[in-house]
Structure 1
Amino acid sequence: MTSKNTFGLAKGDRLTWRYEVLERIGAGTEGEVYKIREKATGLTRAAKLYFETKEKTAPVFIRHARKLDALRDCDIVVKYLHAEEVWINDRFIYCMISEYFEGALLEDLLKTYRGRRMPAFEALSLIYTLTIGIEEIHARKEFHGDLHKGNIFVERMGVFFKLRTIDFHDWGRTPATERRSDILCVARLLYDLVGGRAHYQKQPQAIRDICMGNRSDLILKKFPTVFHLRAHLETFEW
């Protein structure tokens, strides 16, 4: 490890006897994500390496893996494959192997837009896709817990968006509270996609009717469940 914030793996480095590194594709507080190739088949995968030792990471890692497996039928959830123990920097760490999704992080996609903000209709289209995905998760009595621009992968498909979410988080609150938090995060994402505070007053009513001035109380009063948000997105008038 070259620093506490990176493993410094380069193209061609081995990741156990089964995989080789292709490139680094992301990082967060828990670890780094690399694009890797399975040597035996040539198939491309993604590997999340956790910074802490496996002893410190174990509870979070196991909970995360089990949650991904339980939600494997949800289209928006990255598909978990299996776990590996990797020897790096004289210690074992956990490595989570999952599907590789051909898309860009939402925060990187935004950089390609003028002013780093989406047109209203495009932002609403993306939020609708996200809402449908979160509704699937909530229908299973689960939650995401950490929705933001840095853990949503986006792929364009014609006039549609295909999404994958990563890095679920449990803040130790009740599941009902976590699900309400997901709704607030979706509304906040829409707020950010169209330019945030600097551009909010110029947004069409369709945007403001969801973001509600970024007030949590008003958002949850109007959308007590993600079902209500999805129904609104399908029926509102411009």
Structure 2
Amino acid sequence: MSICINPHCSERNNHRDMLFCRTCGSELLLQGSYRVKTKLGGGGFGETYELADKNGKRKVLKVLIDERPKAIELFKREAEVLKVLNHPGIPKVEENGYFLYLPRNTQKHLHCLIMEKIEGLNLSKYIQQQENKPIHPKLALTWLRELTLILQEVHSQHFFHRDIKPSNIMLRADGRLALIDFGTVREVTKTYVAKKAAGDITGIISSGYTPIEQINGQAVQQSDFFALGRTFIYLLTGKSPSQLYEPCTNVLEWRYLTPEISPEFADILDEMMAHSAYQRPKNTQIILQKLDAIDTALPSAINVKRLTKKAVKQESQIKKGIRYANAWMRFLAYLTDLIILFFIGIFFGGCAAYLAYSTGFITESENLFDIGGIVWISSVCGFFPILFSLITSPEEIGTIDIVASLFGIIINWLYFISFEMSAKKATPGKQSLDIHITDLSQNKISFVQANIRYWTKSLSISLLMIGFLITAFTRKRQGLHDIFAKTIITKKFN
């Protein structure tokens, strides 16, 4: 496939051998070398794609859509900075990586930037994938040293990043880290100092990670240390710094959540997050010296290697698709849910029969077993019992049967809907097997998605389980209901 990057094109997918878009006529072979393969994301400012060069090497293409001068200035600055910086933890941009692209039938150029593709997860998604489980202090120490060395390269070129946070740090498949999103970088020049003194600097704010001087448009290189320290509080506690901040005392209460961390390591992080930039380390070299001076009370280097390997293994599993729950596992989870519903149905069936008899809704005692049984069966099987009765013997269905069936169907519906869209992201049956339901971005599903899954799953069952059987053949182990609801069933990593 070859994707057209014209944001106004109505049908952007094209055959991989085409040179011009069949819809809008814009050129598909960018810079005479690159073809866009996949759209990775997009927002109000721009779009991101994966592309391949003539040799099939994958790279990332960023396309700026925002036409405001400030947005263009930041975009150009990112290209210029990445050309200057040279570190394996920073995405590489070739000399001709920045270019202008003119779509067909328009006079407005698109600003484009081709850079190295960093494979992996950002640390925010990594922690979420771990269900907000903190990383070990020894691994944190290793990562902090690695990121400080990356910052050393940035600062040595008289730049500072201004937007360090977990989502802007990537964990590669080999365990190394990379710092991304250099669109907010500033260079320390006489012009910058003059603008800062005049208060003419645009503030870059990421809640919980931005120091007060940067909020006021007075960022310095030590502002990066503050954001880096706050990032490691998130990694070590699994909680956003905003959740740990005490406004009355102006203190971040975090140490009680990390009993395994050494006092020396905790002191370094607190120093990096000092309220005043003057109280923070003067440069990256001081941070590195203090990290080297930490005593050996933390776990051994062997444990660090093990922890890092675990992170790499999990990332490798995610990339290879091993995280998707297979058909057999999903069947066992569904069977477990039916067993649970069996007992729920017995309880509510008895309650319904008692309530109906005590209120005079039914007067004959033999109908007690009928109404209780209908509620019970419908709680387990949903609308299939009443549907079967309507097909085979509609003349025997009365008002009591319909009301009891509806009550049971509601119990069945509520059971699946409420659990699947909850914070647990799974019914009890799925929880017992450590699998959960998410949308394609690994977030919990919405009420609408839960309903689509429920009713399409019911359709799958009525079609001789065909909707379930296709889980064995789809790449992401999606059933018919998953495809319609845009959901996936994933195996949790411990």
Report the counterpart of residue 92 of structure 2 in structure 1.
Answer: 79
> If each structure's strand is expressed as a fraction of its own residues, which one has the higher value?
1
What is the distance in 2 between the residues matched to 1:87 and 1:129? 40
Report the counterpart of residue 158 of structure 2 in structure 1.
Answer: 141
Unaligned runs of 5+ in 2: 22-26, 197-217, 245-252, 298-494
Pair 1:194–1:52, CA change in 2 (3 A): same
| 3-state SS of 1:201 partner | helix
Tell me the TM-score normalized by structure 1: 0.78
Instruction: Report whether the alignment pairs 1:17 with 2:11.
Output: no
Pair 1:54–1:95, CA change in 2 (3 A): farther
Pair 1:187–1:97, CA change in 2 (3 A): same
Report the counterpart of residue 50 of structure 1 in structure 2.
Answer: 64
Structure 1 residue 12, shift from structure 2 partner: 6.7
Report the counterpart of residue 222 of structure 2 in structure 1.
Answer: 180
What is the distance in 1 between the residues matched to 2:130 and 2:273? 26
CA-based RMSD: 3.5
What is the distance in 2 between the residues matched to 1:28 and 1:213? 36
Q: Which has the higher contact order (CA 8 A, sep 6+)?
A: 1
What is the distance in 2 between the residues matched to 1:31 and 1:55? 14
What is the distance in 2 between the residues matched to 1:165 and 1:129? 14
Q: Contact conserved, 1:33 with 1:49, CA < 8 A, in 2?
A: yes
Aligned AA (2:156): A
May I ask how many residue pairs the two structures share in their alignment?
Answer: 230
What is the distance in 2 between the residues matched to 1:9 and 1:120? 47
Aligned AA (1:46): V
Unaligned runs of 5+ in 1: none
Instruction: Report whether the alignment pairs 1:217 with 2:275.
Output: yes
What is the distance in 1 between the residues matched to 2:11 and 2:179? 25
State which of 245, 257, 272 in structure 2 corresponds to 1:202.
257
What is the distance in 2 between the residues matched to 1:140 and 1:12? 44
Pair 1:127–1:47, CA change in 2 (3 A): same
> If each structure's helix is expressed as a fraction of its own residues, which one has the higher value?
2
Rg (Cα) greater in structure: 2
Q: Contact conserved, 1:86 with 1:93, CA < 8 A, in 2?
A: yes
Aligned AA (1:23): T
State which of 168, 172, 175 in structure 2 corresponds to 1:155.
172
Identical aligned residues as a percent: 17
Q: Contact conserved, 1:184 with 1:216, CA < 8 A, in 2?
A: yes
Report the counterpart of residue 115 of structure 1 in structure 2.
Answer: 132
| 3-state SS of 2:220 partner | helix
Structure 1's consecutive aligned runs of 4 or more residues displaced over 6 angstroms after TM superposition are: 7-15
Tell me the TM-score normalized by structure 2: 0.41
Instruction: Report whether the alignment pairs 1:226 with 2:284.
Output: yes
What is the distance in 2 between the residues matched to 1:217 and 1:154? 29
Structure 1 residue 74, shift from structure 2 partner: 2.6
Structure 1 residue 125, shift from structure 2 partner: 1.6
Structure 1 residue 28, shift from structure 2 partner: 6.4
What is the distance in 1 between the residues matched to 2:268 and 2:38? 38
Pair 1:169–1:121, CA change in 2 (3 A): same
Report the counterpart of residue 69 of structure 1 in structure 2.
Answer: 83
Q: Contact conserved, 2:169 with 2:177, CA < 8 A, in 1?
A: no
Pair 1:114–1:98, CA change in 2 (3 A): same
Report the counterpart of residue 35 of structure 1 in structure 2.
Answer: 50
